[in-house]
Chains A and B, each alone.
Chain A
Amino acid sequence: MIKLTDIRKNSVSKVIIIIIALLNLSFISYDWEKDIKSRDKVHKNISTIFNSITYTINSTSDNFYTISESERIIGYLIVQSEFSKYKKFDYFIIYNNSAEILKVKILNYRESHGFEICNKRWLKQFIGNNSDSQFEFNSKVDAISGATISVNSLKTSIFKQTQTLKRILNE
């Protein structure tokens, strides 16, 4: 059941978040929303995971989004770029509303080495990986020989993003 007060609380916080986000200077980063393929991929995944076609996403900062259904936050989306060896790759994480990872997917991978991280079966290892210790988090995801740099870059990035999200939600 959605309480009326919850809706009000969320709308107010959303407005404030958006204002603050707008006040922030934007950093040059990959704009996935302008890339049709990436946009389709992200939305298809959100739609499947939350079994919804009526959800909305709202940007709170450059790469951070809330996923809402009937004005209630049902999850979070982070779209992020990281370096492999010398080029950036783009990926996204979908969380439920308690910051548990539901999906990780690579949107664009540009280097010839390290592409192994695009493998969806390998990426599944991040799902539900809720560990707060970086060591434990990392140990739940297998290494890939020949893709060490990309693997570590992705692990570190996802852990960092997840920790930040958790910290915010705990406030």
Chain B
Amino acid sequence: MTRTTIRKSLIMGLLLSMITVSQSQNTAEKIIGSNQGLHIGGYGQVDYNRVINDELNHNATLDVHRLVTFIGYNFNDKTSFISEIELEHVKEIYVEQAFLSYSIQNNISVNAGLMLIPMGIQNLYHEPPTFNGVERTNVDKYIVPTTWREMGVSVNGRIFDNEVNYELMIVNGFNGYDGDGVFSGSSGLRNGRQKGAKSYMTSPDFASRFAYVGIPSLNLGLSTYFGESESTAYNGLDLSDENAVASADSTIIGINMIGIDGRYQKGALQLRGQYIVADLSNTNQYNISTEKDLGSKMMGYYTEAGYNLLESMQTSNELIPFVRFENYNTHQETVGDVEVAPNYNRTDITIGLGFKVSNGAMFKADYQIKSNEGADEKTYQLNLGTAIWF
């Protein structure tokens, strides 16, 4: 054994031991250490929107659209609390998520509290740098009322060698009647979200999502939601009074919503699409007793393609031109005296550019051509925005 060999071994040993030391210097670990601790994050979008019309002038709006603070705390390996507190348009404050999560085993956890309904892509993945375009898709506004969150309990986990992820949820339903009808033909169920603010419930609703990720680059999702809307007419109701019960029954609707979505990302190419259909029952009764014009079927879909022009460059920045076609109709079908309103059948074409300067920071610009079946004129809109997520 020569002296150089010993020296080499010594150096090797020292260097190996340094692996541990260097790892302890990860910033996250430095603050938190092990699995426990506090996590702070957030996301936001600041927008400029201007409607462009040949005849009328429209002022631009400049808005701190949303600013969300994420606070998560890991009590231990199995238990964590997740919260998101949102400031919308500067003045409105909401809690977007607040739930306790407990892992029963490695791949199954139970969550309880205020949670996101797992319907479609953007309700779950709503951080602005994760989607193209300044604003969220309108399918995810009028058909899926993002950010859709309610109170309840869920189980989520992974099966089939991590190729399928599932989430099963029991939650309170929409507030459909609180003295007045809340749903409407133009905005569908959107105004009925209870958002965890003194939510009430007669009977729970059910939501589920299955995502298949067995093929790399591809992510497929199947979401369902079914149940009935809630109504304050049931509160303090004398169940032996048939008329009163019948009257209360006419203030709720049944909801069966199903959605399929797909995302594909390979090299520079990004494709995504989503189709959502909602069958609503008892709308005739509901519309009569509340004088509303809710449709009995709503439908929306979009397809989008983007291409990162900087993919082959020596940079982690991304420059993504994209185009999206979107159609959504809150009056796909109606029943009774409510006639189909053609202007609720809306089509948006969006052409835009995103410049991702980091994974969590993006500048966005897009131009939208909006039309509906009820009018010949199109509306044009220019959107500029910044999107962040950390």
Say yes or no: B72 contacts A16, CB within 8 Å.
no
Q: How many A-B residue pairs have CB under 8 A?
A: 157
A30 CB–B CB distance under 8 Å: yes
Cβ contact of A63, chosen from B23, B41, B167, cutoff 8 A: B23
CA distance A113 to B124 in the complex (A): 9
Enumerate chain B residues within 8 angstroms of A135, measured Cβ to Cβ.
Answer: 314-316
Cβ contacts under 8 Å, B239 to chain A: none
In angstroms, Cα B82 to Cα A9, docked, is 52
Expressed in whole angstroms, the minimum distance between the Cβ of B357 and any Cβ of chain A is 14
Docked CA distance A152–B125 (Å): 17
Interface size on B, residues (CB 8 A): 65
Contact A112 B13, CB 8 Å, known A121-B215, A145-B130: no
A 94-122 to B, binary, CB cutoff 8 A, 1 in contact else 0: 00000000000010111011011011111
Q: Is A167 at the interface (CB under 8 A from chain B)?
A: yes
Cβ-defined contact, B80 with A87, below 8 A: yes
Q: Do B103 and A9 have beta carbons less than 8 Å apart?
A: no
Size bin of chain A's contact surface: 35 or more
- A144 to B270 Cα, complex, angstroms: 10
Query: What are the residues of chain B within 8 A of A56 when measuring CB–CB?
Result: none
B72 touches A86 (CB 8 A): yes
Contact A12 B9 (CB under 8 A): yes
B265:A17 contact, CB within 8 angstroms: no
Instruction: Check B15 for interface membership: any CB of A closer than 8 A.
Output: yes
In the assembled complex, B61 has its CB within 8 A of some CB on chain A: no
CB atoms of B265 and A120 under 8 A apart: no
Q: Are B5 and A168 in contact (CB under 8 A)?
A: no
A-B CB contact pairs (8 Å), 5 listed: A85-B72, A110-B109, A119-B216, A122-B217, A144-B265
Closest 4 CB pairs of A and B: A13-B9, A118-B162, A86-B72, A17-B13
Besides A8-B1, A86-B70, A143-B265, 14 other CB < 8 A contacts?
A17-B9, A17-B17, A20-B17, A21-B20, A60-B13, A62-B23, A86-B74, A112-B101, A121-B215, A122-B216, A144-B216, A146-B130, A146-B263, A164-B22
- Interface residue ranges, A against B (CB under 8 Å): 8-9, 12-13, 16-17, 19-21, 23-24, 27-30, 37, 60-64, 80-81, 83, 85-88, 106, 108-110, 112-113, 115-116, 118-122, 125, 135, 138-139, 142-146, 148-149, 152, 161, 164, 167-168, 171
